[in-house]
Amino acid sequence: MSTTESTAVTRETTLTSVNPATGETIASHPIADEQAVAAAVATARSAAAVWGRLSYADRKRHLLRWGSRIVARSEEFCDLIHAENGKPRDDAFLELMLALEHIKWAANNAEKVLKPKKVSPGALMSNFAAYIEQRPLGVVGVIGPWNYPVYTPNGSIAYALAAGNAVVFKPSEYSTGIGNFLAALFAEANPELPEGVFATINGYGATGAALVNAGVNKIAFTGSTATGKKIMAAAAETLTPVLLECGGKDAVIVAADADIKAAADAVAYGATMNSGQTCAGVERVYVDKSISGEFIAEVKRILTDIHPGSDSKASYGPMTMPSQIDIVRRHIEDALKKGGTAVLGGPESIKGNYIEPVVLVDADESSEAVCEETFGPTVTIRTVTGIDEAVELANSNKYGLGSTVFSRKRGLEIARRLRAGATSVNSVLGFAAISALPFGGVGDSGIGRIHGAPGLLEFTSPHSIAVQRFAVPGMALLSYTRTDRTMNLLRKVVPLIHGRHK
Ligand code: NAD
């Protein structure tokens, strides 16, 4: 978001949502100021008391009903996503499908993952029973981006709800209508629930900042690393825990034994789909020199026929956020200045809000196109000598979100050497479509995980309970009634338990 927009929130009272393909106004939304944010959090707190006490089975019923409501109104929802975000309707449907998978997984698995667990009390405390119980946190504030305006925040929303929390969601200013539609469908599916189990507040960054300061029990943020750092600093004031899903600069390694056509297909798609506006999209490729010529030619061949647009034949849509276009241009120019060659497209590929695919070969590793998140339909390809060089270059980046490996025989071995939150072997982005797999990054890509069992645990706090089942005479370790005899016994037993390892 630009500084102008960020300061505008103090003056403006409404936010206008615009179609990025046409510039037409879609709708206006009132901006939530600090009081409105506080009121939403207070309503959510009351709702959390009801929602958090429901059984897992009841919450599951409500969540699955929400999913069915999304299905029932999916055509309308896809139209809205197409209009407000710009992505093709088919991509919008795929996004909804993936979000539905996560709603179902979270609903179906919350009880199994979060139910009280009995653990061993250990030999010295064997007269105790020990339990771990996962408590909901209360109210979770979710702050979302615009690139996958349903799938991405839903990774926090569905899992936080399934774990028994109420959610206050601030969608991106570029996808406000979409975020509100998602929450409206939850309310529509569950009219008997109190208001505020899942509600939205609308606005720019200042509204998100107000949510961070509103006394919520956790902030689940998805967006840029720069904003993530600001949120973490602000949340530190109140020790509000944060989950940060930030940017990426994902690498693909194409080994000498890769299926070249499959690797080229994955790179072409992963780099340009959604206009390259994908946190875990393909940004950098390291290909073995024995196959690089054939691989680069194949990527170029595929992308020559791929074009952005807003019609039903378009492969991807316009750039959703106009300010990103200048960043993409800067990265292309810097790569060309630093020794790179554009084998497809170049700065001239930027045509208004649309950017045609750009393939940059052998740009210096210090160029912005290789180091920084480009978030456009561009890709850099570097020829390397062997896996060791590829792994070293792939890992030499401040980000560490997703990654991809193409190799017929060594895929898993190479994947295990990558510094990343996730790796897809012989496919692109496979990890993002498997609900049971946690998603998140290392380094500048963030902290914490959405999805899967870790994604449910993120929205709970463990409560440890130790129950003394019976007292052992003379063995009250945590009491002044402890005797010398007990201590003598312990001095004999402790070396037997802990002192025998050489
Ligand atoms: P952004 O950081 O500009 O904005 C994200 C959200 O934060 C918006 O809702 C915005 O209004 C809000 N915000 C801005 N300033 C704030 C502040 N000071 N306090 C609280 N909230 C504030 O990011 P974006 O442009 O919307 O999204 C693109 C970025 O998101 C890319 O870097 C992309 O890689 C990343 N992303 C990451 C993931 C992931 O899962 N890791 C998924 C999707 C997108």
Domain shared by 389 and 475, yes or no? no
Domain shared by 180 and 323, yes or no? no
Q: What is the mean pLDDT of the chain?
A: 96
Ligand 1 centre from 247 Cα, in Å?
8
Residue-wise pLDDT tens digits, 397-423: 999 999 999 999 999 999 999 999 999
Residue-wise pLDDT tens digits, 438-483: 999 999 999 999 999 999 999 999 999 999 999 988 888 889 989 9
Considering the domain boundaries, does residue 4 fall inside one? no
Q: How far apart are CA 288 and CA 488, in angstroms?
A: 67
Convert 120-152 into a string of H (helix), E (strand) and C (coil).
CCCHHHCCEEEEEEEEECCEEEEECCCCCCCHH
The amino acid sitting at 451 is H
The residue out of 187, 220, 246 marking a domain boundary is 246
Confidence of residue 106 (pLDDT cuts 50, 70, 90): very high
Q: Is 420 in the pocket of ligand 1 (CB under 6 A)?
A: no
What local confidence, expressed as pLDDT, does residue 325 receive? 97
Domain count, the chain: 3
Q: Is 227 in the pocket of ligand 1 (CB under 6 A)?
A: yes
Ligand 1 centre from 242 Cα, in Å?
14
Structure tokens at 345: 């497209």
Best probe residue, ligand 1, of 12, 143, 146 (max atoms within 8 Å of C-beta): 143
Ligand 1 centre from 146 Cα, in Å?
8
Q: Where are the alpha helices (DSSP H) in 339-407?
A: 368-371, 387-395
Domain shared by 202 and 272, yes or no? no
What local confidence, expressed as pLDDT, does residue 160 receive? 99
Domain shared by 176 and 281, yes or no? no
What is the distance of C-alpha 429 from the center of its chain? 13
| Residue 314 CB-half CA count within 13 A | 23
Ligand 1 centre from 397 Cα, in Å?
20
Q: Is 155 in the pocket of ligand 1 (CB under 6 A)?
A: no
The residue out of 183, 218, 246 marking a domain boundary is 246
Structure tokens at 308: 């952005």
Domain shared by 223 and 266, yes or no? no
Considering the domain boundaries, does residue 458 fall inside one? no
> Do the beta carbons of residue 345 and residue 356 sit within 8 Å?
yes
Best probe residue, ligand 1, of 279, 375, 401 (max atoms within 8 Å of C-beta): 279
Q: What is the pTM of this model?
A: 0.95
The residue out of 435, 456, 482 marking a domain boundary is 435
Ligand 1 centre from 223 Cα, in Å?
2
Residue-wise pLDDT tens digits, 471-498: 988 888 889 989 999 999 999 999 999 9
Considering the domain boundaries, does residue 443 fall inside one? no
Q: What is the CATH number of the domain that holds 282?
A: 3.40.309.10
**In 170-197, which positions are buried (b, 16+ CB within 10 angstroms) versus exposed (e)?**
bbbbbbbbbbbbbbebbbebbeebeebb
- The total number of residues shown for the chain amounts to 502
Q: How far apart are CA 347 and CA 325, in angstroms?
A: 11
Considering the domain boundaries, does residue 347 fall inside one? yes
Q: Is 300 in the pocket of ligand 1 (CB under 6 A)?
A: no
Considering the domain boundaries, does residue 447 fall inside one? no
- 128: pLDDT strictly greater than 70: yes
Region class of 206: left (phi > 0), else alpha (psi between -120 and 50), else beta: alpha
Residue 18 β-bridge partners = 25
Ligand 1 centre from 416 Cα, in Å?
29
Domain shared by 61 and 122, yes or no? yes
Average pLDDT of 190-209?
98
Q: Give me the residue label for tokens 């690393």.
A: 225
Domain shared by 159 and 186, yes or no? yes
Identify the residue whose C-alpha is closest to ligand 1 atom 15.
Answer: 205
Confidence of residue 190 (pLDDT cuts 50, 70, 90): very high
Cα dihedral value 336, 340, 344, 350, nearest 10:
-30
Identify the residue whose C-alpha is closest to ligand 1 atom 9.
Answer: 172
Range of the domain at 348: 251-435
Q: How far apart are CA 166 and CA 217, in angstroms?
A: 10
Considering the domain boundaries, does residue 465 fall inside one? no
Domain shared by 258 and 238, yes or no? no
> Do the beta carbons of residue 70 and residue 62 sit within 8 Å?
no
Q: How far apart are CA 296 and CA 7, in angstroms?
A: 45
Domain shared by 481 and 414, yes or no? no
Ligand 1 centre from 269 Cα, in Å?
23
Q: Is 274 in the pocket of ligand 1 (CB under 6 A)?
A: no
Domain shared by 202 and 315, yes or no? no
Average pLDDT of 131-135?
98
Q: Is 143 in the pocket of ligand 1 (CB under 6 A)?
A: yes
> Rounded to whole angstroms, what are the CA distances from 305 to 24, 142, 268, 315, 344?
29, 38, 11, 9, 11
Ligand 1 centre from 227 Cα, in Å?
6
Domain shared by 39 and 83, yes or no? yes
Q: Which residues belong to the active site?
A: 245, 279
Q: Is 223 in the pocket of ligand 1 (CB under 6 A)?
A: yes
Identify the residue whose C-alpha is closest to ligand 1 atom 11.
Answer: 205
Q: How far apart are CA 332 and CA 374, in angstroms?
A: 9
Considering the domain boundaries, does residue 144 fall inside one? yes
Q: Is 371 in the pocket of ligand 1 (CB under 6 A)?
A: no
Region class of 483: left (phi > 0), else alpha (psi between -120 and 50), else beta: beta
Q: What is the CATH number of the domain that holds 82?
A: 3.40.605.10
Domain shared by 241 and 315, yes or no? no
Q: Give me the residue label for tokens 């780099």.
A: 271
Residue-wise pLDDT tens digits, 355-402: 999 999 999 999 999 999 999 999 999 999 999 999 999 999 999 999
Handedness of CA 430, 431, 435, 441 (dihedral sign): negative
Which residues, 6 or more positions from 130, have their beta carbon under 8 angstroms from its beta carbon? 118, 119, 120, 121, 464, 465, 466, 467
Q: Is 209 in the pocket of ligand 1 (CB under 6 A)?
A: yes
Which is the closest atom of ligand 1 to the Cα of 223? 30
Q: Is 205 in the pocket of ligand 1 (CB under 6 A)?
A: yes
Q: Is 399 in the pocket of ligand 1 (CB under 6 A)?
A: no
Considering the domain boundaries, does residue 6 fall inside one? no
